[in-house]
Amino acid sequence: MHMRRKSLLFLFSAFLLTAVVHDEALAQKDKYRNKANDPVAELGYEKKLRWADGLFKSGSYYNAYDYYLQLLQEQPRNPYLNYQAAECAWMMRDYIPAAKYYGFVYSLAPALYPEAVYKEAQMLKMQGEYKHAIERFQKFIVDNPKTFKKLKKRAQVEIDGCNMAMKSLTDPIPANVKNLGPNVNSAYTELSPMPLGDTALLFATMKANNVQEASNENRSDYVSRFNISHKFKGLDDRDTFQWSLPFMDGKFNDAKFHVGNGCFSPGGDRFYFTRCLENEKNEMTCRIYCSTFEKAQWGAPVLLGEGINEGDFSNTQPFIAKVGKKEVLFFSSNRVLQSRGKYDIWYSVYDPRQKSYRRPQNAGKQINTEGNEASPYYDSKTNKLYFASDGWVTMGGYDIFCADGGPSRYTNLHNLGFPINTSADELYYINDPVGKPDAYVVSNRIGSIALKNPTCCDDIWRIQYEPKIYAMGKVLNQKTQQPIQEVAVKMVDENGNIKTFNSTDGQFQFSVARGHNYVLTGDKANFISTRATVSTEAIKRQDPDDTVFVTIYMDEYKIDADYIMHNVFYDFDKASLRPESAAELEKLTSLMKDNPSLQVKILSYTDSKGTDAYNKNLSQQRAQSVVDYLVRNGVERSRLSAEGMGETNPIGDNKTDEGRQQNRRTTFRIMSDVPTLRTVYDSTKPGTIGEQEKNLQQGEGEENPEPTDSDSNFGNPGSRVN
């Protein structure tokens, strides 16, 4: 009997699969290799292979991996050995070698291991190699036209996740996510953060930075236990935590069990948590307990009955909250009856008068899938349920999702997007109960404190939300005041970073970050654009969400037509520009910067006083002065030319003062428009107002999921071990 990835990566049963199952496997690492003489290393091929397979089936993936690698030195092209090395790497959450070994297996024996390319694609997705992952998922679909019906359907969901992730990376949610650091996190796993007001954090941890050997004698060294960390006082950064200490209230920590998933009732007089035990295969089973605060102390934990802890199934990750006027206990369970998949979200209504719980109900198809749903958290202030899932469309493995409603009906289910979700696993999302609207999440993303590979272990991360700020507007024809259709709208910040919105109807929307200055322009053939500006420098992190509305005007132009520049003045009988010319010259500077495809000639004219030669020379110098000004202000010289026209082409009567004043003028002429320098409207990628939200929105759950077919199990690790 193999252990499925879902059981592993989730310490579902317990808290975070990685916490116990994965870390127990890690604790077995070096059981022999740290000894001077490893007896297994001296075994022959067949015996060593049986030993490695036995370790794999017992959940000792790190040791099994070492022996598979030793065997590969003897038979490097053996498909089974490469496949098992990949399976171990997946279970260890070491995605890079896992993808490599799966890919090699498929190149060696595609007929024998047709699912290897599917698993390779999954491991590429977990690395964030989305384009490559899509190619391999598509190959799995094409190469198996008559088999793997259900797994091919899942492959398409994974492709959808890759596409969603790539869009979310380019349009991230306004938030910063940072690791809580070594005062809270260790090289093993931390999980189930529970903020206590705005001053402290309760969580579960194995709190070890060195490999622990799993044995009954030292069990207290590696079981998960509750710790608490207080925030430093008097610091500007309110998210800096002190060294964590064991949580002694109620004496909930118990060396016999892995404990975690703590939460308080809305009134604070009940504390819910889990106790978990692993079997000889490192498979975890959890039970939900409750302790009541009476007579100035916490009472002995009581195992919840009434169907909450059902049979031999695992019941874990309790969270109790007010939903309307009722107290509702949410939890995750892998019970079979009325289940939609593997681990589902369940709920039970609590009766405070009778101190009893109603029969648990499944949260339904709007929440649960054929995969796993875990770590429920309900925000009573916003009436939203947050949870982790690997069954919906995800960026990686487990992503955090949110839905409105509860406890039985939900709407507006959506993925929280990057940077809250990544290509790795995210679980245990929870908001601050008071103060600024920030949150916590547990993840094995790159940057976690790791004992072995960079994504082996889970840390608690702090989410600091930024206000959602949008620049929204329309592009109008300056003359007709009508929207310009099929126009590319560009937004550039002060560092030159550019975003583009392909507008079909002249409307556009950009997400912008605080602390920046943006310039927005339109781009369309035969049009020149004015600019709109948006500044977010004065916006603070605590400020509310906001939308800034702007309008961009565009004018049609003609090649070789002259455009008069008003209010450009020179010193008498000289080429030097007067200070009052700056405003008009800045307009031309902006025009050139905002329309980088244009090539322009500056033309300068004089009146008829003086000789033709003198006026020609003076006007040439004056036109060059304008070019030099534009170059000094950031316009490429290669796009500019100057020509002195002297007293030619008068537009006024040189016999009058008024006429001569009209003739003394400066104009610019658009000489050419270089198409390759334009941002061309792309009809294949039309922009959509609210595109970020639509990208992360999830569809409806299946009413009656198809039953699992005989090939479905091959998508899980451990499906081929002898």
Q: Is residue 28 part of a domain?
A: yes
Q: How many CB atoms lie within 10 A of CB 94?
A: 22
User: What local confidence, expressed as pLDDT, does residue 655 receive?
Assistant: 85
546 and 591 belong to one structural domain:
no
What pLDDT score does 35 carry? 45
Same domain, 605 and 543: no
Q: Which residues pair with 39 in a beta bridge?
A: none
C-alpha 489/C-alpha 529 separation (Å) is 10
Predicted pLDDT of residue 662: 83
Q: Given 116, 140, 169, which residue is the final one in a domain?
A: 169
Beta bridge partners of 291: 271
Task: Give the burial class of 168: count Cβ atoms within 10 A of its Cβ; 0-12 exposed, 13-18 middle, 19 or more buried.
Answer: buried
Q: At 569, which amino acid appears?
A: F
Same domain? 647 vs 631 = yes
Q: Are residues 64 and 139 in the same domain?
A: yes
The tokens for 103 are 């890919």
Query: What's the predicted TM-score (pTM) here?
Result: 0.86
Residue (of 453, 393, 492) closest to 701 by Cα position: 393
User: What is the SS3 assignment for 274-339?
Assistant: EEEEECCCCCEEEEEEEEEEECCEECCCEECCCCCCCCCCCEEEEEEEEECCEEEEEEEECCCCCC
Token pair of 104, please? 């090699």
Identify whether residues 90 and 45 lie together within a single domain. yes
In 3D, which of 197, 196, 200, 189 has the Cα closest to residue 225?
A: 189
Query: Is residue 664, in this structure, part of any structural domain at all?
Result: yes
Q: Is 45 exposed, middle or buried (0-12, 13-18, 19+ CB in 10 A)?
A: exposed
**In this structure, are residues 667 and 603 in contact, taking their beta carbons and an 8 Å threshold?**
yes
Number of domains in the chain: 3
328 within domain boundaries: no
Could you tell me whether strands 469-477 and 546-556 are parallel, antiparallel, or unpaired per DSSP bridges? Answer: parallel
- CATH code for the domain in which residue 480 is found: 2.60.40.1120
The predicted structure's pLDDT at residue 719: 85
pLDDT of residue 610: 86
39 and 149 both lie in a single domain? yes
Cα(234)–Cα(216) distance, integer angstroms: 44
Give the other-Cβ count within 10 Å of 246's Cβ: 12
- Which CATH number characterizes residue 23's domain? 1.25.40.10
Could you give the CA distance from residue 126 to residue 445 in angstroms, rounded to a whole number? 10
Can you tell me the distance from the alpha carbon of 554 to that of 678, in angstroms, rounded to the nearest whole number? 15
Domain-embedded: residue 335: no
Residues 478 and 572 reside in one and the same domain: no
- Tell me the torsion sign for CA atoms 480, 483, 486, 487: positive
The answer to whether 510 and 470 have CB atoms below 8 angstroms apart is yes
Render pLDDT for 497-507 as a digit per residue (tens, 0 to 9): 999 999 999 99
- The whole-number pLDDT of residue 142 equals 97
Residue labelled with tokens 């259900």:
150
CATH of the domain at 658: 3.30.1330.60
Among the three residues 537, 556, 575, which one is the final residue of a domain in this structure? 556
Do 659 and 530 lie in a common domain?
A: no
Cα dist from 25 to 209, 511, 722, whole Å: 15, 44, 19
Tell whether the torsion through CA atoms of 50, 51, 52 and 58 is positive or negative.
Answer: positive
- At residue 565, what is the residue type? M
Is 399 inside a domain boundary?
no
Give the residues of the chain that fall short of pLDDT 50: 1-22, 24, 27-29, 32-33, 35-36
Same domain, 496 and 585: no
Q: Would you call 404 helix, strand, or coil by DSSP?
A: strand
Rounded Cα–Cα distance for residues 261 and 272 (Å): 8
Q: Do 120 and 39 reside in the same domain of the chain? A: yes
Radius of gyration of the chain (CA): 33
Whether residue 515 sits in one domain with residue 490: yes
- Spell out the alpha helix ranges (H) of 198-266: 219-222
- Hey, CA dihedral for 652, 658, 660, 662, is it positive or negative? negative
Is 700 within the bounds of a domain?
no
pLDDT, position 283: 79
Residue 162 within any structural domain of the chain: yes
Residues 478 and 493 both lie in one domain:
yes
DSSP 372: -
CB burial readout 18-40, b (16+ within 10 A) else e: bbbbbbbbbbbbebbeeeeebeb
270 residue type, one letter: R
Domain boundary, last residue among 113, 139, 169: 169
**433 found inside a domain:** no
Q: Residue 632: give the domain boundaries.
A: 562-677
3-state secondary structure (DSSP) of residue 527: strand
DSSP letters of 132-177? HHHHHHHHHHHH-SSS-HHHHHHHHHHHHHHHHHHHHHHS--SEEE
Tell me, what's the pLDDT at 93? Answer: 95
Q: What is the dihedral of CA 661, 633, 471, 468, to 10 degrees?
A: -150
